Amino acid sequence: MSDTTAIEARISGRVQGVSFRAWTEAEARARGLSGWVRNEADGTVSAHLAGPADKVSDMVEALHRGPAAARVEAVRTSPAKATAKGKFRIIR
């Protein structure tokens, strides 16, 4: 069984206005992760991902690709406390 882990991710590039948040929500829920995703004022997208370590790692790999209309330039991650519970959601 996988250990539970959590990370904060910051995604840069063409990631706003391309359904990145909705795509992230669907992908995270498909992996059974909890957390959130939101747009930032500087044009990046931030996400908090929590769940089994292998599923979080797989989601980070997916963030590097993003949805078809996105152009991901970088994904920066850092460890976080698993504060999110329940379903993954988009926050404003």
The domain locations on the chain are 4-90
pLDDT in tens, 47-92: 999 999 999 999 999 999 999 999 999 999 999 997 767 899 999 8
Please, what is the end-to-end C-alpha distance for the chain in angstroms? Answer: 33
**pTM exceeds 0.85:** yes
Domain 4-90 CATH (choose: 3.40.50.970, 3.40.50.2300, 1.10.1300.10, 3.30.70.100):
3.30.70.100
Are the C-beta atoms of residues 25 and 18 closer than 8 Å to each other?
Answer: no
**Plot region of 79 (φ>0 → left; ψ -120 to 50 → alpha; else → beta):** beta
DSSP state of 69: T
Catalytic residue numbers read 21, 39
